[in-house]
Amino acid sequence: MTLRPAAPGHGIVFRRVDAGADIAALWRNTADATLCTALSNGEGIEIKTIEHVMAALAGCGVDNALVELDAAEVPAMDGSAAPFVALIDRVGTVAQEMPRRAIKVLKPVRIASGPAHVALLPDHSFSMSFEIEFESPVIRCQEMMLGFEPDTFKSELSRARSFCLADEVERMRAAGLARGGSLANAIVVSGDRVLNAGGLRFADEFVRHKLLDAYGDLYLAGGPIIGHFRGSRSGHAQTRMLLAALFADPSAWCSTTLAEPGTLWPPAMVARGAALAHAAGD
């Protein structure tokens, strides 16, 4: 995978160099997928597991970039967004001569799907809250709320890794999923133990990762959101449904520009140079 700079107004676009297809990272281009977020061009070409790199781009304030891939899935890295953030920070970003486009939530939008609930609520800035509940004694109930300043994502969420229960691994592999999964790119919980040698990066790393995933998925709105996101026992599918519901109601949102970006977000940014994802450990 290679991250390349792009011109103002370009947005985030994924390119399958092996298939000759470009797909804009927008909610309307998402496809049904299991345990991840995927884009589709509607003609059989897909790009899977985009949520972590999308979260990194959002957290670094990158509005315009070309993400080149030679396969159908974004590299797993360590299961978090931190390696992507490190690469973007390494090459740097530049402000572009164009105000940032943002999506302002004007009225509550809610989606319920079984025990899962998600909502977008009006607010003066961007914030998130999430709660999870698992039978696992290691995870149990966790909740977190964050108000976002420029470095909040990097310090509070970017290092939180994907997680799974050990008894789920074999079922997923039998279904053709997570074949590249290992302790190197996910937290694995077995009974009352975390199997990873280094343990957890945060005591509540599980809910932090759910926030990270939602943060990346929300960037499929096409820009930063001004409002509050609330999630409860939800996942990628519910967040995609929430964006679809938001944009289906013209009275629920408006497009705006951030005339004073320093008060809320950085100016429009683009990655400088090219960052190679496979070089994260170099």
Residues 97 and 132: their CA atoms lie apart, in Å, by 41
* Secondary structure element (H or E) that encloses residue 169, with its range: helix 166-174
236 is catalytic: yes
* Mean pLDDT per 10-residue segment, the chain (282 residues): 95 97 98 93 96 97 96 95 96 90 97 96 97 95 95 97 84 61 86 94 97 98 97 97 98 85 45 53 38
Look up tokens 């989606």; give the residue. 111
Residues 58 and 269: their CA atoms lie apart, in Å, by 10
- pLDDT at site 258: 78
Give residues with Cβ within 8 angstroms of 255, minimum separation 6: 101, 102, 103, 104
The closest alpha carbon to 14, from 56, 48, 59, belongs to 48
Candidate list 52, 228, 236, 278, residue with the active-site label: 236
Q: Are strands 30-31 and 38-40 parallel, antiparallel or unpaired?
A: antiparallel
State the Cα torsion 87-126-63-221 to the nearest 10°. Answer: 120
The 8-class DSSP code of residue 267 comes to: P
Residue 39 corresponds to which amino acid? Answer: L
- pLDDT at site 116: 97
The closest alpha carbon to 116, from 239, 264, 270, 276, belongs to 239
Residue 190 corresponds to which amino acid? Answer: S
- What six digits make up the tokens of 118? 């998600």
- pLDDT at site 184: 87
Task: Tell me the helices (H) and strands (E) count for the chain, helix number first.
Answer: 6, 20
SS3 assignment, position 46: strand
- pLDDT at site 195: 93
- pLDDT at site 1: 96
- pLDDT at site 275: 60
Domains contained in the chain, CATH given: 2-277 (3.30.1700.10)
- pLDDT at site 270: 63
The closest alpha carbon to 217, from 37, 10, 1, belongs to 37
